[in-house]
Amino acid sequence: MSTTKSVIRSIKNVANGYSSVQVMVRNATSNDPTGPTTAQMADVANHTYESGEFLEVMDMVDRRLNDKGKNWRHVAKSLTLLDYLVRFGSEDVVLWAKENLYIIKTLREFQVNDLTGTDQGAIIRVKAKELTSLLRDDERLNQERELARQKMID
Amino acid sequence: MLGFGNRSDSDIQTSLKKACSSDEVAPKRKHVRACILYTWDHKSSREFWHVLKLLPIQSDEVQLFKALIVIHKVLQEGHPSCLIGGYKNISWIESIGRFSASSGLKGYGPLIKEYVFYVIQKLHFHHDHRGFNGMFEYEEYVSLRAVSDPNEGFESILDLLSLQDSLDGVQRVIFSSVQRNRDSECIISALVPLIAESYGIYKFLISMLRAMYRSSQSDDVIAPLKDKFDVQHRRLYDFYADCSTIKYLSTLVSIPKIPPTPPSLMVDSNEPNT
């Protein structure tokens, strides 16, 4: 099943003309039940330091964040990715996230039930709450980014 | 800037129509969210109010009630211009309230009336006190300004107290209608914005009252405000307790926990806020 899906995804990547960074973001935030892996997120984070690619990354993250309920994994994973980028990505990511805080804030009430009726929105609500409070707290954000920098040097 | 295509083109008319459908369920969050994002993307609420006023909902009590919930959410979470747009449309919102209790069979009449009263009072409050955002999220500078001008502070607190009073009124009407039929998700969903708002107001009242106590010489002046605050604290405690018994609510939003007894208002600002 998942191999067919990943084949379809690679066709879509070509058909829609996504750049290689955007494909990277799409793979990291796909509907696969696992991931995104730290390696995937680190790859994306490195690309946010390139000014042209930064916008491509954020454009894709923005689309994933606003995906419909059926694709709740896209939303959950892109929140995970964005949280990582805010810590490890370029300063531009922080500016983007603050500028577009309302996109994240409004996800704090995300609702979705899967076919079995279980509430899958809870994970998104928690992630959105956590990320919102991080972005509001400049002091903590600077600390986290400092910590991340040290981790990258090690 | 790359085009954030999917969203900018999203049709606010469709979102509003779907959010205010005649089904007796909660307004779908995804459509409400689309309206909120629209106001931020366009930095204006004109289109929102314009489309809303053209929706044929005036004859259906369920649709009117859902429209009020949507309005409340957009005022809270939308672009700041929504509050100004809302103030300009007060007379239209008032016209919703004229939906008479006798013409509705499902008993939304009193709910609509009370909710309209509250929303209008909220709009007046934001018009008179510009420092507050729609959700009453904590901003320290407002309490600082209150200290520098005690008269203004006194008035802000008084207005906040009376807003909290009408919020309590809506909450009571909602709970009394919920008791008649248990699984009325539509009515219960109106509590979601009320919970967040009442807590925001509560936090403001605490910090402003504390600031007043620190700055003013005589406590007698503030005593009547404090008495009123204590009464409201107890009612709020009961309100949150009632809310936490409803499963739909407690999974969706985090219901604030406040101590059973009113917090002391004469402590240092260093003490952690409760």
**Is residue A5 classed as helix, strand or coil in its secondary structure?**
helix
Q: In this complex, do A102 and B7 lie within 8 Å of one another by their Cβ atoms?
A: no
Lowest model confidence (mean pLDDT) among A82-86, A149-153, B157-161, B172-176: A149-153
The pLDDT tens digits of the residues spanning A113-124 come to 877 778 889 999
Q: Above 50 in pLDDT, residue B1?
A: no
pTM: 0.88
Mean pLDDT of B145-167: 86
Q: Above 60 in pLDDT, residue B209?
A: yes
Task: Find which of B49-63, B94-108, B114-128 is predicted with most confidence, using mean pLDDT.
Answer: B114-128
Residues B12, A108: Cα–Cα separation, whole Å: 21
- As a whole-number percent, the residues of chain A with pLDDT over 70 amount to 99
pLDDT at B7: 54
pLDDT at A115: 77
Given B2, B6, B251, which is nearest A119 (Cβ)? B251
Residue A37 Cα, gap to closest chain B Cα (Å) = 26
CB B163, CB B171: distance < 8 Å: no
Q: Which of A34, A32, A25, A94 is nearest to A65 (CA)?
A: A25
| Amino acid present at B56 | P
Mean pLDDT of B255-265: 87
Between positions 48 and 87 of A, the ones with CB within 8 A of B are: 55-56, 59, 62-63, 66, 68-69
Instruction: Give strand pairing partners of B226.
Output: none
Q: Does residue A113 belong to the interface with chain B, where contact is any CB pair within 8 Å?
A: no
Q: Which residues contact A86 (CB under 8 A, 6 or more apart)?
A: A93, A94, A97, A131, A134, A135, A141, A144, A145
Q: Does residue A35 belong to the interface with chain B, where contact is any CB pair within 8 Å?
A: no
Q: In this complex, do A109 and B253 lie within 8 Å of one another by their Cβ atoms?
A: yes
Q: What is the DSSP letter of A119?
A: B
Q: In this complex, do A111 and B37 lie within 8 Å of one another by their Cβ atoms?
A: no
Residues A121, A113: Cα–Cα separation, whole Å: 7
CB B123, CB B87: distance < 8 Å: yes
Task: Find which of A15-29, A124-138, B199-213, B253-267 is predicted with most confidence, using mean pLDDT.
Answer: A124-138
Given B1, B77, B252, which is nearest A106 (Cβ)? B77
The pLDDT tens digits of the residues spanning A93-102 come to 999 999 999 9
Residue A69 Cα, gap to closest chain B Cα (Å) = 8
CB A9, CB A30: distance < 8 Å: yes
User: Confidence class of residue A16 from pLDDT cuts 50, 70 and 90?
Assistant: confident
Q: In this complex, do A62 and B192 lie within 8 Å of one another by their Cβ atoms?
A: no
Lowest model confidence (mean pLDDT) among B35-39, B140-144, B217-221: B140-144
pLDDT at B271: 47
Query: In this structure, how many other beta carbons lie within 10 angstroms of the beta carbon of residue B13?
Result: 14
Q: Does residue B253 belong to the interface with chain A, where contact is any CB pair within 8 Å?
A: yes
Mean pLDDT of B95-118: 82
User: Confidence class of residue B10 from pLDDT cuts 50, 70 and 90?
Assistant: low
User: Confidence class of residue B269 from pLDDT cuts 50, 70 and 90?
Assistant: very low
